[in-house]
Amino acid sequence: MPGSERPRVIQDRYEVVRLLGDGASSRTLLCLDRSSGGRVALKELRFEHLDDWKSLELFEREAAVLSRLDHAAIPKVLDFFRGEGEATRLFIVQEFIEGASLQDRMESGPMLGREDVHRITLGLLDVLDYLHDRMPPVLHRDLKPANVLVRPDGAPALVDFGGVRLGGSHVEAGRTVVGTFGYMPPEQLLGQAGPASDLYALGATLLHVVTGRPPTDFSFESGRIEVPQDLRVGGPLIRLIESLLRPAPRDRPQTAAAARELLESPEEQVLPTAPHVREASVSVVPRERSAVTLSYGPRYVEMPPPPRELKGEFGDVYSNLTNPLFPRRRLWSIGTHVIWVLGAGVASVAGFGVPVALYATTLFGRRRDFTELFRTGEVARGVIVSVEAGPMYATFGYEFERAGVVHSGFMDYAQEMARFWGVGDAVPVLYDPNDPNRNCFVYR
């Protein structure tokens, strides 16, 4: 038609149809391959937009690594060439994958259902398992909703390997941080990455998908993203997200296969009914919606395997265990807390320091009793069977099962806890595997 613009053709073969994505130094174009008649995704690196030569290195690495991968959820590389003309260009020709990104699905629909999320999770775990099982491992380093495509049949595909790297968790030379804030784990900010780093990004992506909120919207006061406990997506997925988002790489699932097993394992049935197990005073299965899931109250915490450090990610859990009246996670308002502290100070002065001495004795005693158990104890899920609230302490009775035998215990915590925990609520229990009668329960 007169006056219409002629389509741009690259390398006398690839006719540009439209823009798929635009970055700082590169962009991706949907093109018609005039040779085959099919559609391809053409990624273009523009030299005039380069901030440094690191982008060029990453672009060339992306082409080299992708050309050696063969997985249904990864776009195949069809060609790699340098463009002609005044401005220097590099191009990667890739298989075009039909589908909208997870980011687009969240923003414009159609909305995802539980089965959709479950299938996407399994698909991404499968592709990460493939990548990390290469020799050396292939690390994506920028997994996020915008880089996950959902095909028309619901299967996911992982795209944009611009941050790809081979190898383990060694420090990469240079100052360039690869990844997206909120989705990248703490170690990636230091230039370190391993398979557990991609798994962290998957956890952040899933949290965004199931809540509609990016990871940066969630509290980080405890040194980690605090995952809401009232997500209506089922316990296994919540358990998976929490485990993937642990700050320390050693505390996360170490492989995608381990993460898949965590997702597909059924909910642990605590204290199963059996002829040789005595009947508990209440139902031995914790309530599905427990009071401890309130965002402002005490929360169930998935403890990592031993040994555990007294400081660090779980330092708040240890502090709550050893300080029954002054938990790290305050459960009352600042005003009430000030009154409590002033009252304790007045009582201490009036009592010539006796209350302080008594509490110090309690503190030292709990440290003596629980420090080694915190470091080396095994973890079980228990259930509260009784609550007795006193003027200062609340005494919680709980039970848990070990090798078909029910064990019980009692713990004193601040009486404020009785507002949040009740009979039938689930609690995490630490026990000595050599003597299960030596136990305690913890919270965050």
**pLDDT 10s per residue in the chain (444 long)?**
455 567 889 888 999 999 988 877 788 999 999 999 999 999 998 776 666 667 788 888 999 999 999 999 999 999 998 876 545 688 999 999 999 999 999 998 888 999 999 999 999 999 999 999 999 999 999 999 999 999 999 999 999 998 899 875 455 555 567 889 999 999 998 888 999 999 999 999 999 999 999 999 988 877 788 888 777 787 789 889 989 999 889 889 999 999 999 898 765 433 333 333 333 333 444 443 333 333 446 777 778 888 888 887 788 888 888 877 766 654 444 455 555 566 666 666 666 656 667 767 777 878 888 899 999 999 988 888 888 887 778 889 998 888 878 888 998 887 777 777 788 888 889 999 999 989 998 887
Spell out the domain ranges in the chain: 9-95, 100-264, 291-441
Fold of the 100-264 domain: Transferase(Phosphotransferase); domain 1 (1.10.510)
DSSP 361: H
**What are the structure tokens assigned to 221, written together?**
């006061």
Other CB atoms within 10 Å distance of the CB of residue 255 = 17
**Does residue 37 come out as left (phi exceeding 0), alpha (psi in the -120 to 50 range) or beta?**
left
Residues β-bridged to residue 409: 398
CATH of domain 9-95: 3.30.200.20
State how beta strands 148-150 and 100-101 pair. Answer: antiparallel
Residue 174, pLDDT score: 52
Give the three-class secondary structure for 107. helix
Say whether 100-264 and 9-95 share the same fold.
no
Residue 344, pLDDT score: 64
